[in-house]
């Protein structure tokens, strides 16, 4: 299926700056300037990326170490305390990484997707081979940030680039 929405990746310099907790104005001086038509796009793009970096950090805080999933007919079920209050904020289709550490130190990573959300229980769609082979061993669960909303915001911002220009 074609994807017409651009990616709008977070610039590496901005990500590195935030992760090393340095002054963002060094990398994006437009944030310190008075808002004007000439800097509007770069300023709002930067603010969206900063919001995204914060959301990524927040969702990582909900990583579960040694989770025990329950097998269902089609899904694996995971209890997530606080989910009913929106912590973490999960939606149908979100990607969740399941990690298993082997005795030799190698880690296997499996990708699952949120299929259903009920109170504090999440149903995860996984590869059928993994579903059948899962024997209830503890897994580390890492929630991921879904960038779709931010990509739509960036796309909307792109559409404003030519506002106010005479034809």
User: Is the separation of the CB atoms in 12 and 28 below 8 Å?
Assistant: no
Helix or strand or coil: residue 47?
helix
- Please name the residues in contact with 74: beta carbons below 8 A apart, sequence gap of 6 or more: 115, 125, 131
Cis peptide before 119 (omega within 30 of 0): no
> For each of the chain's 167 residues, which pLDDT tens digit applies?
566 899 999 999 999 999 999 999 999 999 999 998 889 999 999 999 999 999 999 999 999 999 999 999 899 999 999 988 888 989 999 999 999 987 788 889 999 999 999 999 999 999 999 999 999 999 999 999 999 999 999 999 998 887 766 55
pTM > 0.75: yes
């Amino acid at each position: 299926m074609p994807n017409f929405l651009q990616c709008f990746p977070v610039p590496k310099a901005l990500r590195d700056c935030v992760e090393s907790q340095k002054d963002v104005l060094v990398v994006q001086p437009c944030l310190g300037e008075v808002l004007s038509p000439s800097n509007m796009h770069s300023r709002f793009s930067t603010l969206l990326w900063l919001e995204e970096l914060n959301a990524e950090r927040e969702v990582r805080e909900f990583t579960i170490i040694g989770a025990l999933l329950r097998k269902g007919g089609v899904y694996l079920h995971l209890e997530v305390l606080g989910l009913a209050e929106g912590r973490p904020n999960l939606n149908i289709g979100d990607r969740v990484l399941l990690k298993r550490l082997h005795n030799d130190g190698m880690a296997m990573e499996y990708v699952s997707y949120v299929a259903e959300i009920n109170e504090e229980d999440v149903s995860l769609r996984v590869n059928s081979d993994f579903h059948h082979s899962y024997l209830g061993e503890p897994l580390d669960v890492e929630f991921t940030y879904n960038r779709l909303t931010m990509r739509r915001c960036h796309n909307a911002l792109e559409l404003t680039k030519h506002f106010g220009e005479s034809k």
